Amino acid sequence: MTALGAVFRPQLPPERLRDVARTAEEAGLEELWLWEDCFFESGIAAAAATLAWTQRLRVGVGLLPVPLRNVALTAMEAATLHRLFPERVVLGVGHGVQDWMAQVGARVDSPLTLLREHLTALRALLHRERVTVQGRYVRLDDVALDWPPPTAPAVFAGATGPRSVRLTGETADGTILEAGTTPDGVRRARALLEEGRAAAGRTGRHHVTVYLHAATGPGAESRLRAALAPGEDGVPPGLGVAGDAAACARAVQRLADAGAGTVVLQPTADEPDPEGFVRFVARQVRPLMP
């Protein structure tokens, strides 16, 4: 069964997170996703707080920008969260927005090389390996975690272009696709992932999480149109969904049929009722899913 989640947008102040998280837990939402967009909120700090405030809710972070992070620190934070909150954490890493990376002096010449090196080292550390590597960007000398998770967790990576998607198939355990990915886009990504997995000799399950632009309630269509296609008469087909629970469920199902294992509804930045949005996803959209 496809899992269903919602995004807590970082355009909201951090002090709003507790109420949204507790509402999500009470409503029975499966997953609440957080972002580490510059220069809003820390993904790890927000995830730790959300996990502590709740008992059942799974919490995803998509994405942690790897140019900002030494891979040993990423591994330490991931291991700590997975030990404190087993089976409730999903962490994804990615290139980061290049303009933001330039602002903080962290932009690299080859984001793809950095992501490959980071993912390879991160998975090795979380698999209890002792790592020495002298890569173009990632350099570790006899590094191992003292408190690795009892079972190595899945490491997710975000991807957009074909080379990045293929890379996540090679080196990650799951892939996160951005909002605006159509069902056909999911199918194309699935094919690229399989190419990458075959090239690396990977077997087993590779989970795909897809964000879905969504708006409901009064003014839903106009809010979504303003976010996606300002100045146009309507929302371009397949880029998002505006409407009631039935419309949202149909959009989710189309992505699930295309190969999405998790669909995360992403509200507009000006969503007037964040608590109501997560309640809507859990209590009205989920019951309509097969």
* pLDDT on residue 231: 66
CATH class of the domain defined by 3-288: alpha beta
* pLDDT on residue 47: 98
For the chain, list residues with pLDDT below 50: none
CB-count exposure of residue 38 (10 Å: 0-12, 13-18, 19+): middle
Whether pTM exceeds 0.75: yes
* Alpha-helical segments (H) within the chain: 17-27, 43-53, 71-84, 98-103, 111-126, 162-171, 183-200, 220-228, 245-258, 274-280
